[in-house]
Each structure stands twice: as structure tokens, then as C-alpha cells.
Structure 1
Amino acid sequence: MKHIVTVQEAVTAFADFMEPTAAELDAIELESPVIAAEVDLLDAQIKTLDRPANEVDARRIRRARNRVLAARRDLVNRTAGVMLPGGAA
């Protein structure tokens, strides 16, 4: 029985061009409030997986959803001027 073996090394696994650019890091930093709010929402939802949701859990999830919506709204309002170069409307 012959074994099939790859001969090439993995050249793209740790290549320099795979690092995030400064623009990508700035975009991540800009979206970090939305990411944090979504993580909080996920945490609130996970807490209710193993038991029925009570009134406190429902309130926690509702508040977390509102924080996600507010963070998304703020992100869109912040990036609206950035998305349109030259002031085109």
C-alpha cells in the first residue's frame, strides 16, 4: 500500500501578507462597541439555554438587544460621512 504524502510546505500559513493592514485594524477598532454589545447579548441568551427564561432574564436579553441596536446605530452614524468621499450625496 502506498501512502499519499504532501511534498510542499505550507507557505501561506504564516506569510507576511496575511497580517491585517492598518485600515483593517482601524475598522475592527471602529466596530468594537458593536462586537462587545453582541457578545453581551450572546452571554444573556446562553444563560437561558439550560432553564426557562424568567422575567429578569427576559429583561437582560431585551436590554442587551437594545444595546446592540444602539451600537449599530452609532456605528452607522459615525461611518456615514466616511463612506462617501468627496461629500457626494
Structure 2
Amino acid sequence: MYLVVIAWMYVVLMMAVAEATNTTGSVLGAIITFFLYGVLPMTIVVYVMRTPTRRKERKAREAAELAAAQASAEPDAGGHAPGAAEAGSVAPVREKD
């Protein structure tokens, strides 16, 4: 995919150079040629061609987030002993009969 983009950008660059060095051409015309024939169409083409890849990356990211959410929802996922006293906590007080 990128080989076609690089080749087309080379062709457009040569078109722009020919526009700039021609006796009836101008540098402004070369810049416009480069952007309208090269940069703008190639950004659209690359965006459209990368759509399946972006979709796969998004689904993989969502699956990883879902797995992380499910893993943290399990009891005792913290790795601490259940019912252990925390350091610096207030001792419970019994009610008097």
C-alpha cells in the first residue's frame, strides 16, 4: 500500500518541479499542483485503506479493556488475605449489656 503512495508522491513531486522550472510556470502553481494532485488525494486514500486495520485495533483495545474490567470485578482480586486487619485502624468496641 505504501509503495503506491510513495510512487505517486514522486510523480507529483516531478510534476511540481516541472511546473516550477517551466518558463510559463510559477512556484505557486507548483505548490498548488503538489497539494491538489499529491497530498490531498493520498491522505484520503491512506485513510480509506487503513480502515480495516483501525477497526481491528479498536476491537482489540475494547476486548482488552473488557478483560481488565472483568478481572478487577472478581472477589479478592487485590491479592490481600481476606478479613485481615488494616494497619492503623480503630479497634472495634463492644456494646455493653
TM-score range, shorter chain: 0.3 to 0.5
TM-score (norm 2): 0.40
TM-score (norm 1): 0.42
